[in-house]
Structure 1
Amino acid sequence: METPETPRVKVLEAVSYALRAYRAMFEGNLYKALYYCDESLRLQSDFLIPLFLKGLILTSLGKVDEAIEVFNTLVRLGDKNPITYLFLGQLYGIKGSCSDALKNYKKALNIEDNFPSAQFLKLLCLESLGKYEELLEEYDKVLRVAPNLKILYVKKADILRKLGKYYEALECINKALEKDPNDINALYLKGVLLKRMNKFEEAYQVFKKLIDELNVKWLDALRHLASICLTIGEFKEAIKYAEEGLKIAGEDPTFLYYIGKAYERLKEYERAKEYLNRCIEKKPSYVKALLSLAKIHEEEGNYEKAADLYVKSQLYMDKHVKRDLD
C-alpha cells in the first residue's frame, strides 16, 4: 500500500538522479550521465531538467535524431527555454534541413529577442535558403542596433550584389570602408562591384591597392586584376599579375590565357602561342584560347591551322549549348 509520501519521494529521487547526471556529464562520463537521466525520467517522465541534459548528451555523442526527439519532447511539454530551440535549430542544420533550423531559430528569438547566437545562425540559414530580401531586413535590424559592425555592411553589400543591386551594394560597401579603409574583404567586393558596373579604371585602382599595397594575393583578386588590365590596355601589367597567379596556382588555364592574350595584343605572337597552347593543353575546351590562337595563325597566314582551331572552338561551343539545353 502506497503512503502519501511516495510521490514526494519519487520526485526527490528523480532530482537526485538529475544532479548525478549533471555531475557525470561535466566529468566527461557521458554514458553514465545518460543512464542517470533515464533513471530520473523513469521516475518522472515530464521532468524538464534531465530531458534537457539528455538532449545535450545525445548531441555530444552525435546521436542527432535521438537528440531531436528529446528536444521536441521538451517543446511538447511546454519548455520555453530559447536554448532548447537553439539546439534544435543546430541539430536540424546538421541534418541539412535548413528550413526546420530556421523555424527553431525564429522561435528562440520570439522568446528572447536579444539572443546573438540565434540571430547569427538565423542569418546563415536565410542566406543558405536564398531568402535574400528577408535577410536584408534582418541585416538592417542588426545595423540599427550595432551600426559599427562593418562585417555586416560587407555581407549586406554581397547580398545586394547577388540581387543585381550594384549601386546600393557599392553604397553599402563604402560605409564599411569609411570605418576601415583597408578592410580587405570590403575592398575585394568593391573591386568586383566596380568591374561588374564597367567602371574598370576604378576597379583597377581598388585591386591594385589590395594586391600591391596590402599584399593580398588571393587568386580571384589576381584574376580580376589581370582581366581588368587586359580590358583597359595595360597588357604588361596583365602579364605581371597573371604570372603572380601562376606562381601560386601552377598551370592555371585562366592565368595562362590572360598571359597569352596580353602577348597577342602586344603582337608578340610566339610568346602568345606558347601560353595559349599551354592553356589548351590544360583545358582543351577553353574556347577563348582556341579563338585567340586561331586569330594569330590567321594573322600569320597559316589558314589551315586557323581553320582547324575555329572548327574546334565551334564544336566546343555547340557542346556547351547542347548541354545547357539538356
Structure 2
Amino acid sequence: MQKSVLTSFTIIGIIAISCCLQQEEIHSKEYWDELGYNLSHTGKYKEAIEAYDKVLEVDPNNAKEWYNKGYCLSKLGRYDEALKAYDKALELDPTNIKAWYNKGVTLLEIGKCEEAIEISDKLEETYSVGSELWNDIGACFGEQNKDEEALKAFNRALELNPENFKALRSKALSLQKLGRYEEALRAYEIFLKENPRDFVAWNNKCPILLMLGENEEALNACNKALEINSTNPDAWNNKGLVLFALGGYDEALEAYNKALEINPAHEDAWNNRNYIQPNFVITFTRELNETIEAMITIGKTRSDIDFDEFVRYMDSDKSRVDNLMIIGRDKVEINGDNVWLIKMKISEKEELRLIEAIFECKNKDVLTVTMGSPSSKYSRYNETFYHIIRSVRC
C-alpha cells in the first residue's frame, strides 16, 4: 500500500514538471510582453520588470523591452538602473524618441540638469517632446535656484512650442525671482488670457503689482486668487501686504489672521502681522512743528534666532527680507549691545516705509524693535526711531 502511494506521488510530480515545461513553451515572449504592459499600467512596476526580464532572457537585443524596463525602474525611483536600461535601449535603437525623453526626465530627477540639455538638443526636431523636456529642465534649474539658466530653458521651450503655457507660467516665475517684474507681469498676463482660472498665476501676479506700486491692481489680483482658492494661506498673506500698503491696517490684520487660521505655522504671516499689530502707538512733536505718527512694535525677546546666521544673511548681497525691499543696513552699538538697523520699503515707487532694529542681547537672545509709518513722507523719521531705540534695553 505504501509503495503504491509513493508511486502515485512520483507520477503526479512528473506530470507537474511536464505541465510547467509546457507552460514555459506556451508563455512566449509576446505573452510576457503583454503581461508586463498590463502590470505596468496598473502600477505593479516590480512585477512588470520581472515579466520584461523574461523577454530579455530569450531576446536580449529587444530595444523595446529595455525601454519598458527602464520606465518601470524610474517609476520605482531606481534611477541609476533606469539610466542603464535606457542606454541599452538607445544603443539598440537610437531613434527611440520615448527612450531619449524619459532618459532626460530621469536625469532631471537626480538633478543632472546640464546632462538633460544634451538630450533636449536631440529632441528639438520633435517639437512637442523637445518643448516639454526643456520645460522640465527649467524646473530642474529653478529648484536649484539657478534662475538665469531656468529662464533660458523656459524660453527654449516656448520657441519650440509657443502654446506651452506651463512653460510660460514658469518663465514668469523665473522673471519674478530675478526681480524683472515688468517682464514677469507681461508673461502672467499673456498666460491668464488663456488660463483665467489659474490660481498660481493670480497669486504670483499680486506681489509683482505691489512691488511696482500698482496697489489697487494688486488687490484685484489677490481677490481673484482667493475667488479660485480661498483656503490658501499664501494668498491671504499677499492680500494682507497689499492692504497694508493701501493703509488698511485693520483689514490687513484680518487677512494675516486668516492666513494663520489656515496655517498656524505660516512664518511670513506671523512676521507681517507683527509689523502692523503694535504694542503701542506714539506721537512725537519735533522742533519744526512736524508731527510724526508712527506705529511702534517692541518684539518679544527671542531665543530661537541664530544671531550669527542673521549677520551672515545681512552681510550677503540679498536685497529683501520677507516681502520688503532693503534700502539700507547699518551695524551700530547702542547701550553696549550690537544692533542691526534695517531700512525697508514695499516697492520701488515708495519712500522709506519701515525701520527695524535687531538687538543682540548679552544673553544671546534677540530683541526686535520695528517702526512702521502710515505715511512714508516724514523727514524726521530716522531721528525719531533712533530716539526710541536708545531707550530700549535687552
Provide Cα deviations, 1:210-241, integer angstroms capped at 9, x if missing partner.
22x33433222122111212222222222111
Q: Larger % of strand: which? A: 2
Q: Larger % of helix: which? A: 1
Structure 1 SS opposite 2:265 = coil
Measure, in 2, the Cα distance between the counterparts of 1:55 and 1:37: 19
Q: Which amino acid aligns with 1:311?
A: K
Measure, in 2, the Cα distance between the counterparts of 1:64 and 1:176: 31
Are the equivalent residues in 1 in contact too, given 2:165–2:191 (CA < 8 A)?
yes
Which structure exhibits the higher relative contact order, with contacts defined as CA atoms closer than 8 Å and separated by 6 or more residues?
2
Provide Cα deviations, 1:142-163, integer angstroms capped at 9, x if missing partner.
22x4467433443343344445
% identity of equivalent residues? 24
Q: Which amino acid aligns with 1:72?
A: D
Are the equivalent residues in 2 in contact too, given 1:68–1:88 (CA < 8 A)?
yes
Aligned counterpart for 1:214 among listed residues 194, 211, 230: 194
Measure, in 1, the Cα distance between the counterparts of 2:20 and 2:259: 63
Are the equivalent residues in 2 in contact too, given 1:40–1:50 (CA < 8 A)?
no
* Structure 1 unmatched ranges of 5 or more: 1-34, 44-48, 322-326
Partner of 1:311: 300
Aligned residues: 275
Whether 2:156 is the aligned partner of 1:167: answer no
For residues 77-92 of structure 1, what are the structure 2 equivalents within 5 Å? 77=58, 79-92=60-73
Partner of 1:130: 111
Are the equivalent residues in 1 in contact too, given 2:86–2:99 (CA < 8 A)?
yes
Measure, in 1, the Cα distance between the counterparts of 2:264 and 2:48: 51
Structure 1 SS opposite 2:111 = coil
Give the TM-score, by structure 1 length: 0.70
Are the equivalent residues in 2 in contact too, given 1:260–1:275 (CA < 8 A)?
yes
* Structure 2 unmatched ranges of 5 or more: 1-17, 283-293, 310-394
Q: Do the aligned partners of residues 255 and 161 (structure 1) sit closer, same or farther apart at CA in structure 2, a change above 3 Å counting?
A: closer
CA-CA distance at 1:114 after TM superposition? 0.8
Q: CA RMSD in A?
A: 3.5
Provide Cα deviations, 1:4-41, integer angstroms capped at 9, x if missing partner.
xxxxxxxxxxxxxxxxxxxxxxxxxxxxxxx9996253
Measure, in 2, the Cα distance between the counterparts of 1:70 and 1:216: 46
Partner of 2:203: 223
Whether 2:256 is the aligned partner of 1:276: answer yes
Whether 2:276 is the aligned partner of 1:293: answer no
CA-CA distance at 1:256 after TM superposition? 1.1
Partner of 1:41: 24
Partner of 1:7: none
Measure, in 1, the Cα distance between the counterparts of 2:185 and 2:142: 19
Partner of 1:201: 182
Measure, in 2, the Cα distance between the counterparts of 1:291 and 1:161: 26
Partner of 1:121: 102
For residues 228-247 of structure 1, what are the structure 2 equivalents within 5 Å? 228-247=208-227
Measure, in 2, the Cα distance between the counterparts of 1:305 and 1:278: 23
Measure, in 1, the Cα distance between the counterparts of 2:123 and 2:89: 16
Measure, in 2, the Cα distance between the counterparts of 1:38 and 1:207: 64
